[in-house]
Structure 1
Amino acid sequence: MARTISMMQPYLFPYLGYFQLIAASDAFVLGDDLQYVKRSWMNRNRILTQEQANLITFPLRRGGHLDAINERWLCDQFEQEAAQLIKVIERSYAKAPYRLDALDLLRSILGSSERNLARFAELSIRSLCAYMRIDTPIYVQSQLANTQDMDKQDRVIFLTQRLEGRRYLNLIGGISLYCPAYLASHDIELRFLSMNDLTYPQGKHAFVPSLSIIDVLMFNSRDEVKRLLECYTEIESPLLFESSASGQPQLSL
């Protein structure tokens, strides 16, 4: 089978689909030198609080509008912010069946002395993957090559070939961003991953979807998480596609 490569910006505690993408790939690239996007999922996410989705944020120092993700830093008071966040999560998941293991993992991650946003996110993603028994090799884009001046499609082609890939797998949210024929002209097959409709017990209330991986780990054993990681569908790229979208994508490289 052709070697599959995937790439994403480094997010903090992203949703399950992000980790499905990593697990479904033979190699995964973190786009640490891509532009930071304000109000994106790069430094915030959602957890379950009182049966509703609640936004949590990891505060940053002030930065430039065009700064890359690896040029942004967590705030100087992050130790106190992290301690407060742990308290919020403890209260929110006081009755979750797997809270003790999940909280131990979160304390380990949030207790890191790393303050660079990209490196902190990388550390958290690696730790979460280890906990979920995802063994896909993870690479950092800026360490592979300088691709900042490349078009997103050329970047994908270059890095996929650099990692000896023949298939590029992307989350379904980026389906309009790439031209299948252009990638195929470079001998790369384009496919998309779509997370299946899924639920798991969150208590007695109606299921609240699309939350941080934190929620998944609070309510599911490691064996059940492994099953959830496999609940996706791979979709072939659409045949009718005239041109790639412009601008910085939010959900994919």
Structure 2
Amino acid sequence: MTTVVILQSNYIPWRGYFDLIRRADHFVLYDTVQFTKNDWRNRNRIVGPSGPQWLTVPVSTSGQFGQTIEETAASDPRWTRRHANALQSALGRAPRYGSFGPFLADRFAQAATLTRISAINRLFIEGVMSLLGLRTRLHDARDIPASGDRSGRLLSICRELGATRYLSGPAARDYLDTAAFTAAGIEVDWMTYPAYPPYRQMDGGYQAGVSILDTLASLKPDEVFG
């Protein structure tokens, strides 16, 4: 069975995102769709001693209505230094933060040379995949021929990758033409996110749905998914 997952890139996403990646043979970064403001594409949260805080990559969107994720660019190159400092300040005393300090330094140094949000997100996603030992093949949607409506494009991508199973997030239930997938010999499954193991965050509590960097600052890679 060949499992394909298709999802927009997120900025250093939560562990559920990487759980989807680990369940797939092919994971497609679907960044040919419209960029949405105030979403996970260019920001995420961590929890420091004073509580949750946002890490947001500033982007240029003024006068560019309808731009895709891969067309969206960071607007201020100083964001890499700010995020590196914010992570050190918020998570520096976490049990395992020191174990991926070199990883962060390397990724932020590389990110400083990039402008497109899509490329920045992929850089960090690939890096975290390496930390977690995930071997899923990563693709950019722009490199895969696709046509049709919203659901049809996803089916086209699955066909191109030889999928026999399409694993989707729950949000696609509203529009996915499952009958078309079935007719093409592709099984459709829906991801149900489990209750991942909690851990003590830097404010003494626990909030789910934060960047996986927050999680890896406290849990070993083999503890992340339970």
Q: Considering the TM-score relative to the shorter chain, is it more than 0.5? A: yes
Classify the secondary structure of the residue corresponding to 1:219: coil
Classify the secondary structure of the residue corresponding to 1:35: coil
> Residues 56-71 of structure 1: matches in 2 within 5 Å?
56-63=55-62, 64-71=64-71
1:219 to partner: Cα distance: 0.8
* Letter of the structure 2 residue corresponding to residue 224 of structure 1: E
Aligned partner of 1:9 in structure 2 is 8
The alignment yields a C-alpha RMSD, in angstroms, of 1.7
**For 1:86-123, what per-residue CA distance to the aligned partner results, in whole angstroms no more than 9, with x for missing partners?**
11111111321111123322222221111111112112
1:51 to partner: Cα distance: 5.4
Q: Does 1:73 align with 2:54?
A: no
> Residues of 1 paired with 2:65 and 2:98: CA distance?
39
> Residues 102 and 214 of structure 1 are in contact (CA less than 8 Å); yes or no, is this contact kept in structure 2?
no
Classify the secondary structure of the residue corresponding to 1:195: coil
1:199 to partner: Cα distance: 2.9
> Residues 8-157 of structure 1: matches in 2 within 5 Å?
8-50=7-49, 52-63=51-62, 64-75=64-75, 77-78=76-77, 80-112=78-110, 113-145=113-145, 147=146, 150-157=148-155
> Residues of 2 paired with 1:117 and 1:34: CA distance?
13
Classify the secondary structure of the residue corresponding to 2:27: strand
TM-score, normalised on structure 1?
Answer: 0.82
**Structure 2, unaligned runs of 5 or more:** none
Aligned partner of 1:241 in structure 2 is none
* Letter of the structure 2 residue corresponding to residue 10 of structure 1: S
Classify the secondary structure of the residue corresponding to 1:60: coil
The 1:95–1:119 alpha-carbon spacing in structure 2 relative to 1, beyond 3 Å, is: same
Classify the secondary structure of the residue corresponding to 2:36: coil
> Residues 92 and 98 of structure 2 are in contact (CA less than 8 Å); yes or no, is this contact kept in structure 1?
no
Classify the secondary structure of the residue corresponding to 1:190: strand
**For 1:62-109, what per-residue CA distance to the aligned partner results, in whole angstroms no more than 9, with x for missing partners?**
45110111111112x32x221122111111113211111233222222
Identity between Structure 1 and Structure 2 (%)? 21
**Structure 1, unaligned runs of 5 or more:** 232-253
- Detail structure 1 runs of 4+ shifted over 3 Å in the superposition: none
Classify the secondary structure of the residue corresponding to 2:28: strand
Aligned partner of 1:178 in structure 2 is 176
Classify the secondary structure of the residue corresponding to 2:12: coil
